[in-house]
Amino acid sequence: MTYLHNIGKYFLMIAEMFRKPTKWPVMRSLILKDIDDLVINSLGIIAFISFFVGGVITIQTALNIDNPLIPKYLVGFATRQSVILEFAPTFTSIIMAGKVGSFITSSIGTMRVTEQIDALEVMGINSINYLIFPKAIALMLYPFAIAIGMFLGILGGMAAAVFGEYASLTDYVTGIQYEFDTFHVTYAFIKTFVFAFILATIPAFYGYYMKGGALEVGKASTTAFVWTSVVIILVNYIITGMLLG
């Protein structure tokens, strides 16, 4: 029953998020700050992980298709499909659940512990809209970070293929272009937008409704990471079945 209670409470929080909005000048500054904290500051880790994982995918693919009858361009093809369809949107989002999600939970949870949220309510401010809505809007730019991750993942794969002599540059580029379906990119961005909303709201939920002191802030961050990752995986399964099944 606790799970059902939390699910209902979560959706009530989502509804409250759009009620009694904060004045635009204040909201704008909050959104810009959250863009810097949540998106801009995540570009470095996304770029680093994407580049090297793209290289790993290429190496593993090349080592598993060493049959001379299999064309070398399939290395580029497999890397492109893996990076665009799953790695960039899904696994990067799970990693971001640890970085971005923990930041959101701890920052809001600290405000709960120090009674800053109570002070906002006393002043007549809708604290849910004030604290959570800017984060949800800021993370709508998250797909742009994923687009950079896609590019760098394929680039990392190309570097690994060429410098590791697993495939020539011509074969790799041919594989990237082979039977390219633009809907796969659309599919990746659709689920990235959904993941962005999940990344903003589930950690915020656990931070906003936490009880206790500083120790509980850490526990709430861990719980938020676990459930954000679980929901991302479940939603990924559902969206994939609906759009690609």
The pLDDT tens digits for 182-200 are 999 999 999 999 999 999 9
Residue ranges covered by each domain of the chain: 23-243
Confidence band, pLDDT 50/70/90 cuts, at residue 54: very high
Quick check: 9 pLDDT over 80?
Answer: yes
204 versus 22: which is more confidently predicted? Answer: 204
Quick check: 92 pLDDT over 80?
Answer: yes
Take residue 108 and report the two structure tokens written for it: 């809001």
Residue-averaged pLDDT of the chain: 91
Quick check: 68 pLDDT over 70?
Answer: yes
pLDDT tens figures, 79-88: 999 999 999 9
pLDDT tens figures, 105-160: 999 999 999 888 989 889 988 999 999 999 999 999 999 999 999 999 999 999 99
Quick check: 1 pLDDT over 70?
Answer: no
Lowest pLDDT segment from 46-55, 65-74, 143-152: 65-74
Q: Report the alpha-carbon distance of residue 206 to residue 9 in Å, rounded.
A: 11
**Percent of the chain predicted with pLDDT > 70:** 100
Confidence band, pLDDT 50/70/90 cuts, at residue 167: confident
93 Cβ contact partners less than 8 Å away, ≥ 6 residues apart? 146, 192, 195, 198, 199, 232
Maximum pairwise Cα distance, the chain: 72
pLDDT tens figures, 212-236: 877 888 899 999 999 999 999 999 9
Q: How many residues does the chain have?
A: 245
Sole residue written with tokens 């009674």: 115
Which DSSP category does 114 fall into? T
- What does 38-68 look like in DSSP terms, one character per residue? IIGGGHHHHHHHHHHHHHHHHHHHHHH---T
